[in-house]
Structure 1
Amino acid sequence: MLPHGGRGGATPASRDLVEGIRFFRGLKEFLSLDPPTFTGALNPIVAKDWLEQTTKALDVLGIGDDNLRVLIASYQFTGEAEVWWESVTSTHMVEGMDWGIFLGLFHEKYLPISVMNALRDEFLALVQGNMNVEEYEDRFTSLSRFAPDIVADESTKTRQFA
């Protein structure tokens, strides 16, 4: 006899159980990579670092389900980011949320276009000045992420760095 009334389809309760198991397995694997938490610091470099590292961990684990990505990534919010996420969940349907929507909301709050453009401009205007070579290289690398078209290849990157 089939366990779901003989119809062969999963009941809502069994689907919820399967989804819960998938979430906890995915979360356990994700946490085993020791991913960073995000406090909601209004520092775009910190926000971009968190997003890149989180996305990388989700990709490495092969977590492709959009909603599972959203649930696991948002699990890493603490402090102000957690408060912000709670407000998001009160106005947006998180269950079934697309990863692209999550990214859009995150960017809108922590990486708005105006800030991204300002960091791109800072990168374009970057000069070594009083920085030693190591400090300059660190700042160049940090800001270069905000101008990917400028550093798309090594020769372009070298011209900008020189």
Structure 2
Amino acid sequence: MALGVRVTDGFGKFQTTPIAGVDRDAVIARLTDLVERQAQQVQQLIEQRNTDNLRTDVNQRQPRIEPIELVCERFRKLNPPIFEDATDPLAAEDWLRTLNNMFQYSIIPDTEKVLCASFMLRGSAGHWWDTVKSIEDVAVMTWERFKEIFRNKYFTALVRIMKMNEFIQLKQGNVTVTDYLCKFE
């Protein structure tokens, strides 16, 4: 049977016009073959992805499940810095960066980072944390949330913008940092 093209006659009626030299059954068989090969390729991709995921899961460092006392003790052995109410906002950002590095190094689970960090707050920073505890449920607080409220207190958006502008305006000789960046990009 020949394959055809449906065309309208202009009055809403369709007619099938055969295409010369094209066997409809051969085209259907070819399309069926293509669909089957695509299905096989999709299946292979799914199997490969599942195999890759298994390898990744095995190779990734998993957080240790251990009592909180051991987690805190491991953290304290790294001699983390104490944070008191710093007048320099960069000191607050440095403190967070240092803790992040320590958490990564010692594989502190996310659920314990807030507890470990809050243990290092002293002076007015400790009082600030006491206030936060009365407002928020710190038992379920994420590390991201802790960093957000900490930065809002000690390294506000306005200060960040001012520091960024200060950085952009830096000059060495007569050349600004922006000019240096453009030169080396």
Q: TM class, shorter-chain normalised?
A: 0.5 to 0.7
Asked if 1:156 is matched to 2:181, the reply is: yes
Which structure has more relative contact order (CA 8 Å, sep 6+)? It is 1
Instruction: Report the CA distance shift for 1:157/1:36 in structure 2 as closer, same or farther (over 3 A).
Output: farther
Structure 1 position 78, deviation (Å):
0.5
* Matches for 1:1-162 after TM superposition, within 5 Å: 22-65=67-110, 67-128=111-172, 156=181
One-letter amino acid of the structure 1 residue matched with residue 159 of structure 2: V
3-state SS of 1:41 partner? coil
Q: Provide structure 1 residue ranges, at least 5 long, that are not aligned to the other structure.
A: 1-18, 130-143, 145-149
Q: TM-score, normalised by structure 1?
A: 0.65
Q: Which aligned runs of 4 or more in structure 1 are off by greater than 2 angstroms?
A: 155-160
One-letter amino acid of the structure 2 residue matched with residue 52 of structure 1: R
- State the distance in 2 between where 1:158 and 1:32 align: 45
Structure 1 position 22, deviation (Å):
2.2
Structure 1 or 2: more strand by fraction: 2
Structure 1 position 35, deviation (Å):
1.2
Structure 1 position 27, deviation (Å):
1.1
Q: Provide structure 2 residue ranges, at least 5 long, that are not aligned to the other structure.
A: 1-64
RMSD (Å), alpha carbons: 2.5
Count residues with an aligned counterpart.
117
- State the distance in 1 between where 2:183 and 2:157 align: 26
**Rg: which structure is higher?**
2
Q: TM-score, normalised by structure 2?
A: 0.57
| Percent identity (aligned) | 31
One-letter amino acid of the structure 2 residue matched with residue 46 of structure 1: A
